[in-house]
Structure 1
């Protein structure tokens, strides 16, 4: 299974970009015990009441990652570590509708209820409801979504903010971004079960050398996390220049080309709530 790479609601701080961390664990049962949400996390419940239409299916995306696909009379619950997410409702079936993202505030220690309502053209839109209405609706909804999202979050580091050019030694200034990642991981210790760290380089230089450099940089990040007390199993991988994200960077080696290719030089950290089955 390939990791989802599209992500929304990113925060850029010294080369650090991260989606709001969330996990796809379902809290089973229509009663939705409040004790299932800790003081450092919130929860979002998205539900669809019985409407008789099985031709069109709303797919629930949080920060660009699917967490549920609802038939009539189903709900999906997702734990969230963070204070806001971007929620998008897409439609599959007779009508294909991408849906628009909307920012949703999450309250730690509480459940946020979102009702999915159908509009005339078989597409769906989210409606935030109060706790009383949400709890009442869930009394009549007995089934959870059959999708269990194993993806938690993707963190992207600009390697120019972590390493000097052509080096795999972390710069002192890298600690700001990496320490924030450590805090995010430790804020949801029960959610993150596995970490995958992938290094990437630009296309300048020898491919074999770039492969080794990208692996060394991924290992440097993993070592830093471990030294700061992150005991979660980690895999490291170097992909060299095989997966560029830039376009139209042309010309010979120069400072201008180096600047253009900057987005290719990155370390991506995938935080998972299940084993790595990539």
Structure 2
């Protein structure tokens, strides 16, 4: 998909970069740099191509920003654990994410990486320390596993004129089925051998409901959610393990492996937050947060 263009523009942007965007990107407080956590993006119309560009790492790591350029124009600065989603017209575009960009600001002065984007397609691109400049193309399943817990980058305004608001396909929809974590697992457990009898029954009922709905899913994402007890990292792992276990049960029930993926939101998306009292009271209050959501994308409204 990507190819190197040996023609590199010699002139650097110089004084035109006085706007100070890189300084703004790097100095933005973490709590103001991010918005909502990643949710699966819907399909776009045939008149657009969609790009989900993300940076690996934990939100808040102070490694500086990776400046994202689209057709030589600044779009955003990705901090570790951040992502941006945008659309462009189908066709030829240049883009990249550059770490330690100052003072040359390569994305404004070079056309080193060029891609042909097809209408109606969504592309997942990753930036990390090993891909300075060149985006890494990632499959949707792998990308959304890495995007679990990532948050939308919101602290910089896009200057890229090629970036458009996305127009999503009519009729594509999502439906969420929520399974209680306390029904599925004992407290703190996550393995296949830890599923309760009630958990097996709940998953069988869900599979039966999907079959009766004649959903014919295009994609199913199993999302593990935890309560706030424990560290952010441990909750992320626990949520993923629970999602992977439920995914295995769905496959056991006959759903095709090619459309079912597992990811974790950890404790980032609570449905209840005001829990007080003793530890046991807080555990009980946080029960709604311990859940596994099975998100089904279908071509028609269920």
**TM-score bucket (shorter structure):** 0.3 to 0.5
Q: TM-score, normalised by structure 1?
A: 0.44
User: 1 or 2, which has the higher helix percentage?
Assistant: 2
Q: TM-score, normalised by structure 2?
A: 0.40
